Amino acid sequence: MEPIVKVRTKDKLPLYGLLLESKKGSKKALFIELHGTASNFYENEFMWPLAQELGKQGISTLVVNTRGADSLQAYPFRGNALEKFEDCVLDIDAWVEFVLKKGYKKIILSGHSLGTQKVIYYMEKGKYARKVASVILLAFADSYAYHNYFVEKTAKKEIILREAKKLVNEGKGDTMLRSVWLAHRDRFPKSAASYLSFFGEGSELSKALPLRNKGKLSMYSKIKVPILAVIGDREEYTAISIKESLFLLKKENKLAEAHQIKNCDHDFTGKERELAKIIVGFLKRKL
């Protein structure tokens, strides 16, 4: 079949991905990868060496777009600037259903950066969460805390929240915030409703992986399948020290392994082979 694949979510949104089926063995296992903030299925270059190594083990790979792919898209209108965090469940449901219909028996659900929080949230809320055999968290983050620390430091938090709440109350949730352009950490535009869904007090994102609290990770701790977390030591968004976050992940779920790669950035640049070795070794032991 053609490697570019398409699904349609429950709310009728088309999403695209790349399916790399292993030529070795039966359709036993498949690795689904979710991108991070405003990224997409083809920009995470660490995935290509990993897909090669997974294929040697008889594991197929599916790298996918969510509705938060890229900053803003048209036809249909979507992107990170408009997405609501909790809608990630609809996206992942569609992709897992696609995989199950193709006959795969073991699903490895992996995310990068913001994608790690979507994976954890899905394991709590998703229709097919019990079909997931293992969870992989790459460059895990507490995006809610990291963003709010940034806007507090730059004295922009109340300005942005005030405008976002006003627009939503006026029924203009899809209107872009303008009091502070690039309202998402001075890097991305954000609509009023999307901003509150991500960074408003009590948002669903705030509950996914609250490393900032240095305590109970309620959604994460309830995951009942093997977990692998891998992070670098530069450009990370954990809100607490990486050392503390690694300890916390192992403490809060006894099924978890946590690894740090030295001299490594958020995208595992130059460390792709080392990352692949860690992931494949983990899956050999746990699947």
- Of 208, 233, 260, the position where a domain reaches its end is 208
Task: Kindly indicate the confidence band of residue 1, based on its pLDDT and cuts at 50, 70 and 90.
Answer: low
pLDDT tens track for 136-177: 999 999 999 999 988 888 888 899 999 999 999 999 999 999
Query: Domain check: are 169 and 260 in the same one?
Result: no
Query: Domain check: are 83 and 27 in the same one?
Result: yes
- Two tokens, residue 262: 């030295």
The number of domains in the chain is 2
Q: Kindly report the pTM of this predicted structure.
A: 0.96
Q: What is the mean pLDDT of residues 69-88?
A: 92
Query: Domain check: are 57 and 165 in the same one?
Result: no
Query: Domain check: are 167 and 107 in the same one?
Result: no
Give the C-alpha separation, 83 to 195, whole Å: 9
Query: Domain check: are 169 and 262 in the same one?
Result: no
The residue with greater pLDDT, 73 or 19, is: 19
- Two tokens, residue 54: 């997974």
* CATH code, domain with 78: 3.40.50.1820
pLDDT (0 to 100) of residue 25: 67
In the chain, the percentage of residues whose pLDDT exceeds 70 is 99
- Of 208, 238, 262, the position where a domain reaches its end is 208
Q: What is the mean pLDDT of residues 107-118?
A: 99
Is residue 224's pLDDT more than 90?
yes
Q: What is the mean pLDDT of residues 20-24?
A: 91
Query: Domain check: are 148 and 32 in the same one?
Result: no
- Sheet of 14-20: strand order equals 4-8, 14-20, 59-64, 29-34, 106-112, 132-138, 227-231, 256-260
185: region left, alpha or beta (phi > 0 left; psi from -120 to 50 alpha): left
pLDDT tens track for 245-283: 999 999 999 999 999 999 999 999 999 999 999 999 999
Range of the domain at 168: 144-208
Task: Kindly indicate the confidence band of residue 186, based on its pLDDT and cuts at 50, 70 and 90.
Answer: confident
Query: Domain check: are 102 and 44 in the same one?
Result: yes
Lowest mean pLDDT among 20-29, 115-124, 221-230, 255-264: 20-29
As a whole number, the mean pLDDT across the chain is 95
Task: Kindly indicate the confidence band of residue 27, based on its pLDDT and cuts at 50, 70 and 90.
Answer: confident
Is residue 196's pLDDT more than 60?
yes
Task: Kindly indicate the confidence band of residue 238, based on its pLDDT and cuts at 50, 70 and 90.
Answer: very high
Query: Domain check: are 232 and 101 in the same one?
Result: yes
In the chain, the percentage of residues whose pLDDT exceeds 90 is 87
Query: Domain check: are 121 and 249 in the same one?
Result: yes
Query: Domain check: are 281 and 178 in the same one?
Result: no
- Of 165, 185, 208, the position where a domain reaches its end is 208
Query: Domain check: are 167 and 60 in the same one?
Result: no
Residue 31 identity: F
